[in-house]
Amino acid sequence: PLMTCYLTDHTSPDEIERGFSERVWIAAKLYPAGATTNAHHGVTDLVGLAPVLERMEKIGMPVLIHGESTDPSVDIFDREEVFMEKSLLPLLKRHQGLKAVIEHVTTAGTVDIVRAHAPRVAGTVTPHHLVINRTSIFQGGLRPHLYCLPVAKRESHRLALRKAVTSGESCFMIGTDTAPHVRGAKEAECCSAGIFGGVTALQTYVQVFDEEGALDRFEAFASLNGARFHGLEPNKGTLTLLKRPSSALSAVPVDEKEVVVFRGGEVLPWSIGEVKA
């Protein structure tokens, strides 16, 4: 596996460089402290992180960013937009050679930022943000298994994401952000953020590309753009997707509990066929 390291306020530039040069990790994850599940030890001061980012800029090591404001006064649906304006754009201006990936993009504005700063900036998009919007979370009642961070946005943003990923632009790439939480942690008074979409991710992505008339652009999005951005050779193995109905289990067992699968139990238009190593 290709590993990343977790940036904190106490991360050492020398340690970052040593791990990168020895291929212990290929990139660093930047979580604003408290922005998402398990981000409590994240970064509280982006300006104070400058020595680390300067070293990463020097050695060509990408930073992978969860782009949401943690200011409690900011509306949850505006946190990505506020982070981009107040934190990301100043960061990119301060570190003009830094390679960055904005993870799990959810807004049209962030799509525009990725495009404006390509090729040194790229963006990943999840399968669920391509098929649900914020109304989905409340459709017929509160649906905790559709709650994730960044939270799904209004329909106009979902449509912008679909156009971006199917555009053929190399700055957009696959990124499932699959997050398994047992049913009890989701169906709770204060539920965990995250959607377990890994089981149905490829079937969902390819369905979107099919619906948008862009199947010829799917391989680049799924297999090539990310590898090229990180300076890696594409995998030699192949996976065949078939336009044949399939379905996944509605939940998968974990010890004596279970994790609900995104789109589990639905009839999916596409299925996974032959896999060759």
Q: What is the pLDDT of residue 91?
A: 97
Give the end-to-end CA distance of the chain in Å, rounded to a whole number.
15
How do residues 140-163 score in pLDDT, each as one tens digit?
999 999 999 999 999 999 999 999
pLDDT-based confidence at residue 132 (cuts at 50, 70, 90) = very high
**Known active-site residue 210:** no
pLDDT exceeds 80 at position 214: yes
Question: What does the alpha-carbon distance between residue 169 and residue 149 come to, in Å, rounded to a whole number?
Answer: 25
Q: Which residues fall within 8 angstroms of residue 223, CB to CB, at 6 or more apart?
A: 174, 234, 235
pLDDT-based confidence at residue 38 (cuts at 50, 70, 90) = low
- Rounded percentage of the chain residues whose pLDDT exceeds 90: 96
Return phi, psi of residue 230, to 5°. Answer: -90, 5
**HSE (CB half, 13 Å, CA atoms) of 264?**
16
DSSP 182-224: -HHHHSSTTPPP----GGGHHHHHHHHHHHTT-GGGHHIIIII
Mean pLDDT (the chain) is 97
How do residues 187-198 score in pLDDT, each as one tens digit?
999 999 999 999
Q: What is the pLDDT of residue 37?
A: 67
Which domains, and CATH codes, for the chain? Answer: 1-103 (no CATH), 128-276 (3.20.20.140)
Of 14, 45, 177, 216, the catalytic one is 177
Question: What does the alpha-carbon distance between residue 268 and residue 204 come to, in Å, rounded to a whole number?
Answer: 8
Q: What is the pLDDT of residue 35?
A: 72
Token output for 5: 């390291």
Question: What does the alpha-carbon distance between residue 70 and residue 93 come to, in Å, rounded to a whole number?
Answer: 21
Distance (Å) of CA 139 to CA 133, 134, 143, 144, 151: 10, 9, 7, 11, 15
Q: What is the pLDDT of residue 140?
A: 97
Question: What does the alpha-carbon distance between residue 188 and residue 140 come to, in Å, rounded to a whole number?
Answer: 18
Mean pLDDT, residues 79-86 taken together: 98
Three-class secondary structure of residue 225 per DSSP: helix
